[in-house]
């Protein structure tokens, strides 16, 4: 399967701990997105990379959140000093660079529970 | 904030019936896309319609787009139990490079 891969699928952490999620996009895709989804809502944009450059960060992404995409390959999303409000599904998506904007391919997500 | 609004929020139909859901959005778009999400899973792309298109078909799916009303509809014909899922519309604004999602429509198909 050469789809978008996310790890871990589930993470339970205590409030105040740091967590890191990984996303491996489809290999030839240069665009990578992170979204957050809470129960009953649609995905909300967090951040966007084109190759290794982080081009946009949502205001939802507080100083406790940081994302990287070294060498334009996999990406990591770190949350420091987790809070209960961070509990959500974190989704990664990638898309190819084409002449226009096409579909995004999503991973299965990482479900974070902060207790 | 989310760009699109789906209507209805939830829909329950009998197997074999058609399901229609609507999406309204706020800004000018490059294209509009529909995605399906099964419970607790990632999103799967269903269909993309560009701003200069009015209707598109893919299998049992039919999507319409009315840019003057900033609205779209998704029709699933001859529904099956496997169509039970949440459906989201997502817009690609003209001046942006990220998808903005609505809150979704939850569809339940009863056997």
Strands A19-24, B100-101: pairing kind: unpaired
Per-residue model confidence (pLDDT) at position B1? 46
Average pLDDT per block of 10 residues along chain A, 115 residues long: 90 98 94 94 94 89 93 94 97 82 90 98
What residues contact A101, with CB distance under 8 A and at least 6 apart? Answer: A95, B30, B31, B92, B97
Sign of CA dihedral A19, A14, A107, B76: negative
Choose the mutation target among A9, A23, A55, A101 for the interface with B, i.e. most B CBs under 10 Å. Answer: A101
Q: Tell me the residue ranges of DSSP E strands in B15-84.
A: 19-24, 29-37, 43-50, 55-58, 61-66, 71-76
B-chain residues near A97 (CB < 8 A):
none
A100 touches chain B (CB under 8 A): yes
**Each residue of B69-107: pLDDT tens digit?**
999 999 999 999 999 999 999 999 888 888 999 999 999
Closest residue in B to A90 (Cα–Cα): B42
What residues contact B80, with CB distance under 8 A and at least 6 apart? Answer: B15, B109
Which residues from B are below 8 Å from A when comparing CB atoms?
A: 2, 4, 30-31, 33, 35, 40-45, 48, 50, 88, 90, 92, 97-104
**Each residue of B19-55: pLDDT tens digit?**
999 999 999 999 999 999 998 888 999 999 999 999 9
By CB neighbour count within 10 A (0-12 exposed, 13-18 middle, 19+ buried), where does B20 fall? middle
């Amino acid at each position: 399967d050469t789809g978008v891969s996310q790890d871990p699928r589930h993470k339970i952490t205590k409030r105040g701990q740091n967590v890191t999620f990984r996303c491996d996009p489809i290999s030839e895709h240069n665009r990578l997105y992170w979204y957050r989804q809470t129960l009953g809502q649609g995905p909300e944009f967090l951040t966007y990379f084109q190759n290794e450059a982080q081009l946009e960060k949502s205001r939802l992404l507080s100083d406790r959140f940081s994302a990287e995409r070294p060498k334009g390959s996999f990406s990591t999303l770190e949350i420091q000093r987790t809070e209960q409000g961070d509990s959500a599904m974190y989704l990664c998506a990638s898309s190819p660079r084409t002449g226009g904007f096409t579909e995004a391919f999503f991973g299965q997500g990482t479900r974070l529970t902060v207790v | 904030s989310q760009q699109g609004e789906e209507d209805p929020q939830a829909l329950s139909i009998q197997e074999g019936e058609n399901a229609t859901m609507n999406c309204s959005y706020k800004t000018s778009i490059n294209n509009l896309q529909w995605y399906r999400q099964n419970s607790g899973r990632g999103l799967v792309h269903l269909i993309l319609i560009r701003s200069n298109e009015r209707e598109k078909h893919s299998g049992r799916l039919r999507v319409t787009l009315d840019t003057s009303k900033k609205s779209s509809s998704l029709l699933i014909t001859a529904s099956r139990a496997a169509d039970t899922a949440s459906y989201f519309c997502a817009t690609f604004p003209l001046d942006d490079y990220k998808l903005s999602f609505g809150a979704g429509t939850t569809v339940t198909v009863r056997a």
